[in-house]
Amino acid sequence: MEFDSFVLVAATDSLRSVERAREHADAIEFRMDLCENPREQLESYDGELSVLATNRWNAEGGNATDDAARLALLEWAVEQPAVAAIDVEFDALDDPEWRSLVADARAAGVRVVVSAHDFERTPSRAVMNEQLHEAGKHGDCAKLAVTATDRRDVLDLLSVTETRTAAGETVATMAMGAVGQHSRAVAPLYGSRIGYAPVAPDAATAPGQYTLKTLSQLVRTLSADH
């Protein structure tokens, strides 16, 4: 999984339902924290779309509460042939064991998305610039999801996305919530390299996600116009 161009990722907690995503998605985000049997599903997965394995911590919108078990599952996922990338929260990298996971993944040729989420607000441009820049030092793509309360928040996020991209960094950005929903379609025009939409239209994994078909059509149309 490369991030030198935009990657549309279909998010799901079930690898048994990903066939419906093939028409629109470039890859699958497997939300292991939302799945009861992630090892079994990943071992038996033989789909065509590569997997971005995510085991999201509950403090950042996920369902995982045991950090040691969460780390162990991602360490195991790195070794699975279907896994092309993993997601690691930026705050987790204060721990040397998580930094070791990142090093092991990159040594194995598995890409690393270093992510941060703010479910309350959109930080200042200076803070977002710093967050993305620092996260990018550890992974192949720095992801920042914020919560927009007005359209100015979206403008700030897009400006930061363009700034970091112009600096040669690989980032993925989105503004969560209804106010920021359109950012998911337009952020790729400013350099964002990953977009997320649910495999099942009624199973969004973050506030404000479009359906997979809708996001695919919007990104394709906007990109063609530019």
What domains can you pick out in the chain, each with its CATH number?
A: 7-225 (3.20.20.70)
- List of long-range contacts for 181-186, beta carbons under 8 Å, 24+ apart: 181/208, 181/209, 181/210, 182/154, 183/148, 183/154, 183/157, 183/158, 184/208, 184/209, 184/210, 184/215, 185/210, 185/215, 185/218, 185/219, 185/222, 186/158, 186/222
Select from 58, 99, 91, 59 the least CA-distant residue to 75: 99
Measured distance CA(57)–CA(14) in Å, rounded: 18
Length of the chain: 226
pLDDT value of residue 226: 63
User: What residues act catalytically?
Assistant: 117, 143
pLDDT in tens, the chain (226 residues): 999 999 999 999 999 888 889 899 999 999 999 999 999 999 999 999 999 999 999 999 999 999 999 999 999 999 999 999 999 999 999 999 999 999 999 999 999 999 999 999 999 999 999 999 999 999 999 999 999 999 999 999 999 999 999 999 999 999 999 999 999 999 999 999 999 999 987 777 777 899 999 999 999 999 886 6
pLDDT value of residue 173: 98
What are φ and ψ of residue 10, in 5° steps? -95, 120
pTM of the predicted model as reported, rounded to 2 decimal places: 0.95
